[in-house]
Amino acid sequence: MSSGNWVIYVSLLFVALNKLLQYTASYHDSWGSRLALPNVKAAGNKYREVLAEHQKLAASNRAVSAQDDYARWTKNNRKLTQMENELKRLKEQLAAATAQNKQMLGKLRLVSLTLPFLALKLWKGKHVVFYLPKSNVFPKVISGVWSQGWLYLALAPLKLVTGKSVVTASTAEVGVSLGIWLWALQRVIDTLEFLLKQLLLTPAMARPSVGEKHEITSDKVALD
């Protein structure tokens, strides 16, 4: 049994990591930008540089009189238009690099978390986590099915009719496999989450105030 404990610990680790990633979803973008590839950082820096230049030129152009210094004003406008086109291009580049980065991080998650967890579930899916107690925890019908299979259910009415006993000693050792246990664990966690959200995290909604009831007593329409 102790040799199989590592399976349980690793599974719990995977479940915990998945939950952590789920709860910190809003921070993923900022973490992703810190873990960005060099091309993303370079694109971001270039964009910020050109943007700063553009803002500086736009500010200085606002101080130039269009009518008294038309040539200079127009040349500045031409440069500003060029920079705007450049900014558009850099923005597209940055978006593409960021998307690529995000895709790469997604693949990393797949390879380091999702696939190993799946492999574990497939490989050790039938590993027994614990055995059910032999005492009368479950209804007799269920104990009967476990020890004798579905045939028990099929034959039970017959036994009742003929007066034979339907109670059987629960001799079979019934274990809970890793797959079932993980599923049940996930359901329990989800249910607890739901309860906490509903009971504690959802703000209470005030009862709507009902004003005076407006009753229509006649067909006459009040005109202004």
Partner 1 sequence: MDLLTEPNLHSLITSSTHKWIFVGGKGGVGKTTSSCSIAIQMALAQPQKQYLLISTDPAHNLSDAFGEKFGKDTRKVTGMNNLSCMEIDPSAALKDMNDMAVSRANQNGGSEEDGLGGLLQGGALADLTGSIPGIDEALSFMEVMKHIRNQEKGEGETYDTVIFDTAPTGHTLRFLQLPNTLSKLLEKFGEITGKLGPMLNSLAGAGNIDVAGKLNQLKENVETIKQQFTDPDLTTFVCVCISEFLSLYETERLIQELISYDMDVNSIIVNQLLFADDDKEYNCKRCQARWKMQKKYLDQIDELYEDFHVVKMPLCAGEIRGLTNLKKFSQFLNKEYDPIADGSIIYDLEEKN
Binding site for partner 1 (CB under 8 A): 66-71, 74-75, 77-78, 81
Taking the complex as a whole, the smallest distance from the CB of residue 71 to partner 1 amounts, in Å, to: 4
Residue type, 91: K
Q: Please identify, using beta-carbon distances, which residue of 73 and 138 lies nearer to partner 1.
A: 73
Which has the closest alpha carbon to 88: 59, 60, 51? 51
Residue 74 or 114 with smaller CB distance to partner 1? 74
Cα separations (Å) of 46 from 43, 64, 81, 166?
A: 5, 27, 17, 80
**Cβ distance to partner 1 smaller for residue 24 or 85:** 85
Find the shortest distance in angstroms from Cβ 111 to partner 1.
32
* Cβ 218 to partner 1 shortest distance, Å: 51
Q: How far apart are CA 156 and CA 147, in angstroms?
A: 13
* Long-range pairs of 113-119 with CB within 8 A, sequence gap ≥ 24: 113/14, 113/17, 113/18, 113/21, 116/14, 117/11, 117/14, 117/18
CA separation (Å) from 15 to 8, 101, 181?
Answer: 10, 25, 12
Nearer to partner 1, 29 or 69 (CB): 69
The nearer residue to partner 1, 68 or 224, going by C-beta atoms, is 68
Structural contact between residues 47 and 92, judged by C-beta atoms closer than 8 angstroms: no
Question: Smallest distance from the beta carbon of 66 to partner 1, in angstroms?
Answer: 7
Question: What is the smallest separation between the CB atom of 96 and partner 1, expressed in angstroms?
Answer: 18
Residue 130, SS3? strand
